Structure 1
Amino acid sequence: MKKISTMSFSRRDVLKTTATAALITAMRSAFPSGAFASTGAPEVRGAKLGYIALTDAAPLVIAKEKGLFEKHGLPDVDVAKQASWGATRDNLVLGGEANGIDGAHILSPLPFLMQTGKVTQNNQPVPMSILARLNYDSQGISVAKEYAETGVGLDASKLKAVFAAKKAAGKEIKAAMTFPGGTHDLWLRYWLAAGGIDPDKDVSTIVVPPPQMVANMKVGNMDVFCVGEPWNEQLVNQGIGFTACTTGEIWKGHPEKAFAMRTDWIEKNPNATKALLMAIMEAQQWCDRMENKDEMAAILGKRQWFNVPPVDVLGRLKGDINYGNGRTEKATNLYMKFWAGGVSYPFQSHDAWFITENIRWGKFAPNTDIKSLVGKVNREDVWRAAAKDLGVASADIPSSTSRGKETFFDGKIFDPENPSAYLDSLSIKAAT
């Protein structure tokens, strides 16, 4: 894989005022796992960051709420809600200097689609950099209540006959996801295809922003959707549908959202970039602690963040899953992970899978140089530099850019060193 040069950083000046020192002492007490390590003074006082109302945006929200951006010398960070992933993309294209945003909580494949101009106006490439992974697991695939009697769960094949009959009767089967080529699109497609349902031929995939999923299913605009929390939980709490499976059941410990920024912003502000990362990493550590989940749900539920009842957030944060079809599970390991086990580190092997799946469904050409593209966008070297300055234990810093082979619920295996073999093993796909 292409070697990426390591950025060089100097030490930050010691903070001088008594008030600031008191703040730092308080923050150290609240976040004992991360030492207040410093780098060169940030070039700017803040940045404009975007987020979608999804539980996996929590590290950005908590970093803002808990004063972690200020702690690392960035008092003017703006964390702004985006209406959709399309709006996130458009505002990243604009950039903060043009009233857009500099970085975002983002679907992990989206920076690669932007880097190559696949989803931008006039196919204009926008150089992007992934700096951290924000979470693992805890997305969901939910189904309209009318399909409850099929018994559909992790095995999507139970929908095949009923979908075929409905389609033969002249009705459209609508499967909703949040952005073409994004994580939710890929989880939905994988689940359908594993059950023998072709997502390009047997159903119509539609795009719906995450906060609008429940309302659209309530009025019958879709048969199935894939989205992150808290929207699957809210669907169940409102009695509108049920969860067939969580995405952790499809691929246990799967990567989900990323923190990414415009590459030109990083190049202009290397110290500020690392300060942002350090704040977000500390927030991930806070989010990962089970004793913080109740407070986290209350914060995310606030009007200015998600504007939802905290109960819609809390259950699945703790691994308590009411699937809504009579099945309930308590204290599962399917809760959202934010830090322990290398979650924050952006494994390049994971990005290789996202690109390979987008080759599978025709978003990228079959001859795409996966390693080269990953090397341009994935800046795991910056993550390592930030982790070192933050005082992250060496045992918590992965020694390799690859997590190795990954195994899915249907027995398929992805070897990042041989993506072609993985593609060859798949019977339903657009790519040849």
Structure 2
Amino acid sequence: MSNSSRRRFLLNAGTTALGAVLLKGCLGNPPEPGGGNTTAEQAAPVELSPEMVPETTQVKLGYIPIAEATPLIIAQEKGFFAKYGMTGVEVSKQANWASARDNLVIGAQGGGIDGGQWQMPMPHLITEGIITNGNKLPMYVLAQLNTQGNGIAIAAAHAGKGLHLDITNAADYIKGFPSSAGRKFKAAYTFPNANQDFWIRYWFAAGGVDPDQDIDLLAVPSAETVQGMRNGTMDAFSTGDPWPYRIIAEDIGHMAALTAQIWRFHPEEYLAMRADWVDQNPKATKALLKGIMEAQKWSDDPNNRAELVSIVAGRNYFNIPAEILTPPFSGIYRMGDGQPEINDFKMGPLFWKDDIGSVSYPYKSHDLWFLVESLRWGFHKDSIKDLDQVKQIIDKVNREDLWKEAATEAGFTSDIPQSTSRGVETFFDGKTFDPENPEAYLNSLAIKRI
């Protein structure tokens, strides 16, 4: 959406000042000059041995202004990149996921980016040329940036209809929309065949609603989705922090579920880079990883969350009032529609460790789940055909070896997982995903395309 279009939208929508500020931050306006945080105390540089000196100090990382971008921003502002010799990192706000993808194809030398924050499995799809018009651009997944921080929002018109975590009893209400409302129940996410699409699909299907047949499910920009929830043309939204705050605060709707409820400590968004950049700069890659690891550890300290919020809320980053970010970064969520408030630090975004294992480590078992879900829903069926191919793609894209090397060099050896699999994963509806037997998971699902 252009700046002129955005202004027209705000005028037409009649949003509050709070909504306008939120909208500007979440849609990814260009940074304003002098808007960076200059008061954050910088980490002291470490003395680098010759074998650890980066091949280059320059890299351009793209991000979307949502909670998942936090480690990139903190690593920059707290000096963790510079600590390991990466003094020329540029953290670049992207307008949306499609723009980030296109800028990656261009590359930093052409005015784009070298890598950055990604929904999964975008790096795998870009590697295979599936979402780049057949242009195969190899990528490497290097680290997970966070867990949690997302949810399913429901428009206010559906209050009292039982659209909460378990929608089994509301399935007939949703599926009956064509006869009662003259149209299908309409739901949205921000980019197709990736995280937010998967979360809302899983939630619908677990309640007996087929997301491909019983409803209209489509990719819609966040601002248009929220306006649709206001005016009655959009019913549900798969969204990330800080949007849930606005939806509740402005009585746009309620939160049916947090993804932390759907799948506790689930994989969320990742650091991934162009493979050619990593291959040319392996030491710089590990220096980036060390800076992000330091940022993740720092960010998970509750004592640092107030400073974290003040940094990411700045006008060069999210550009929204700090009070909007404070509740989710504290694990506090007003759910609305008569549901109890959630007040649990570990239900909000986490960045380094959780109660199961590492957050930062890129488990191959998590890559597997995302691509198995792609098979489940028939995504890219002409390009991704079976589990053998899925595993080959993962082995090509996932560079857990570089994560381990970076963690070892940084002295984080006690935090290195012993396995590339986190083991059996359990979802809110009782379904389990065993990475050793993904066929059993697929067979257990009642609603699927495969």
* TM-score scaled by length of structure 2: 0.85
Inter-CA distance 154–390: structure 2 relative to 1 (3 Å threshold): same
The CA deviation at 1:171 is 1.7
Read off the aligned partner of 1:407 and give its amino acid letter.
T
Q: 2:333 aligns with which of 313, 321, 327?
A: 321
User: Cα deviation per residue 1:323-365 (whole Å; 9 max; x = unaligned)?
Assistant: 1223212235311110023110000001100100011011144
Inter-CA distance 151–133: structure 2 relative to 1 (3 Å threshold): same
Secondary structure of the structure 2 residue equivalent to 1:149: coil
Secondary structure of the structure 1 residue equivalent to 2:85: coil
The CA deviation at 1:401 is 0.5
2:258 maps to: 246
Check conservation: 2:42, 2:79, Cα contact below 8 A: no
Q: Do residues 185 (structure 1) and 197 (structure 2) align?
A: yes
User: Cα deviation per residue 1:203-224 (whole Å; 9 max; x = unaligned)?
Assistant: 1112134566534433444210
User: Cα deviation per residue 1:159-180 (whole Å; 9 max; x = unaligned)?
Assistant: 4222233222422422111211
Q: State the distance in 2 between where 1:382 and 1:232 align.
A: 35
The CA deviation at 1:290 is 0.6
Check conservation: 1:213, 1:231, Cα contact below 8 A: no
Q: Do residues 408 (structure 1) and 427 (structure 2) align?
A: yes
Count of residues in Structure 1 that have an aligned counterpart in Structure 2: 400
Q: Which runs of 5+ in 1 are unaligned?
A: 1-24, 30-34
Read off the aligned partner of 2:414 and give its amino acid letter.
A
The CA deviation at 1:73 is 1.4
2:449 maps to: 430
1:384 maps to: 404
Secondary structure of the structure 2 residue equivalent to 1:49: strand
2:370 maps to: 354
Inter-CA distance 26–120: structure 2 relative to 1 (3 Å threshold): closer
Q: State the distance in 2 between where 1:311 and 1:135 align.
A: 21
Q: State the distance in 2 between where 1:36 and 1:406 align.
A: 41
Q: 2:279 aligns with which of 264, 267, 275?
A: 267
2:391 maps to: 371
Q: 1:398 aligns with which of 373, 395, 417?
A: 417
Read off the aligned partner of 1:276 and give its amino acid letter.
L
1:333 maps to: 346
User: Cα deviation per residue 1:258-306 (whole Å; 9 max; x = unaligned)?
Assistant: 0000001101111111111111111111111111111212222222211
Q: Do residues 284 (structure 1) and 296 (structure 2) align?
A: yes
Q: State the distance in 2 between where 1:156 and 1:36 align.
A: 56
Q: State the distance in 2 between where 1:231 and 1:107 align.
A: 17
Q: Which runs of 5+ in 2 are unaligned?
A: 1-40
Q: State the distance in 2 between where 1:390 and 1:413 align.
A: 35
Q: 1:106 aligns with which of 93, 118, 139?
A: 118
Inter-CA distance 158–147: structure 2 relative to 1 (3 Å threshold): farther
Alignment of 1:20-419 (within 5 A): 27-28=43-44, 39-121=51-133, 123-168=134-179, 169-210=181-222, 213-326=225-338, 327-331=340-344, 333-340=346-353, 341-364=357-380, 365-368=384-387, 369-392=389-412, 394-419=413-438
Read off the aligned partner of 1:377 and give its amino acid letter.
V
Secondary structure of the structure 2 residue equivalent to 1:338: coil
Q: State the distance in 2 between where 1:355 and 1:419 align.
A: 10
Q: State the distance in 2 between where 1:188 and 1:136 align.
A: 16
Q: State the distance in 2 between where 1:154 and 1:334 align.
A: 15
Inter-CA distance 345–321: structure 2 relative to 1 (3 Å threshold): same
Q: Do residues 420 (structure 1) and 433 (structure 2) align?
A: no
User: Cα deviation per residue 1:148-169 (whole Å; 9 max; x = unaligned)?
Assistant: 1112211123442222332224
Check conservation: 2:184, 2:214, Cα contact below 8 A: no
Secondary structure of the structure 2 residue equivalent to 1:58: helix
Check conservation: 2:62, 2:100, Cα contact below 8 A: yes
Secondary structure of the structure 2 residue equivalent to 1:27: coil
Inter-CA distance 294–209: structure 2 relative to 1 (3 Å threshold): farther
Inter-CA distance 87–219: structure 2 relative to 1 (3 Å threshold): farther
User: Cα deviation per residue 1:370-409 (whole Å; 9 max; x = unaligned)?
Assistant: 22111111100000011011111x3211011011111111
The CA deviation at 1:37 is 6.3
Instruction: Please provide the CA RMSD for this pair.
Output: 1.9
Check conservation: 2:65, 2:317, Cα contact below 8 A: yes
Q: State the distance in 1 between where 2:112 and 2:57 align.
A: 17
Inter-CA distance 421–132: structure 2 relative to 1 (3 Å threshold): same
Check conservation: 2:155, 2:253, Cα contact below 8 A: yes
Check conservation: 1:114, 1:128, Cα contact below 8 A: yes
